Structure 1
Amino acid sequence: MPPATRAQAKTATNVSIRRELLEAARASKINLSATLEQALIEKLQEAQQQQWRDDNLEAIAAYNQHVEKHGVFSDDSRSF
């Protein structure tokens, strides 16, 4: 998911966080919206990666089993 650009519409929302955390963020001049967006992008990427692994678990296991039994095509070619 690409980072937000100015042309992308934004939606106001309410979130609840600990008061001391909010105060510390404001004191440090941390942009809460940008920070939340970046954190959500990272979490969504992690979730998508996990979903891909879950969706491909059987294929990955089958490939690994094939490699254990037969090796890989370049086993005779590589020098390391």
Structure 2
Amino acid sequence: MTVNARKPANLTIDQNLLTEARALKLNVSRAAEAGIAEAVRQEKSRRWQEENAEAIRSSNEWVERNGLPLAKHRPF
């Protein structure tokens, strides 16, 4: 199992949210890390879709004109 190195970071967080998180005994660092990881995942996905939009559009147009390849072999 690989252990990721951790690095301290200064963050500015809404005071009420931080107070509530602490009252709930949440690990604020881990929660922030999870939120950042999700934001990174979403941005990578958005960029991939943007970078590949033309190929996706072209592929969809081909399927609309010609149907799905091997469609005759589909059991449904």
Over the matched positions of the two proteins, sequence identity in percent amounts to 32
Gaps spanning 5+ residues in structure 2: where?
none
Higher helix share: 2
Deviating above 3 A after TM superposition, structure 1's stretches of 4 or more consecutive aligned residues are none
In 1: Cα distance, 2:71 partner to 2:34 partner: 42
Gaps spanning 5+ residues in structure 1: where?
none
How far off is 1:77 after superposition?
2.1
| Higher-RCO chain (CA-CA 8 Å, sequence separation at least 6) | 1
Number of residues of Structure 1 aligned to a counterpart in Structure 2: 76
RMSD: 1.8
Q: Normalising by the residue count of structure 2, what TM-score does the alignment of the two structures yield? A: 0.87
Q: Normalising by the residue count of structure 1, what TM-score does the alignment of the two structures yield? A: 0.83
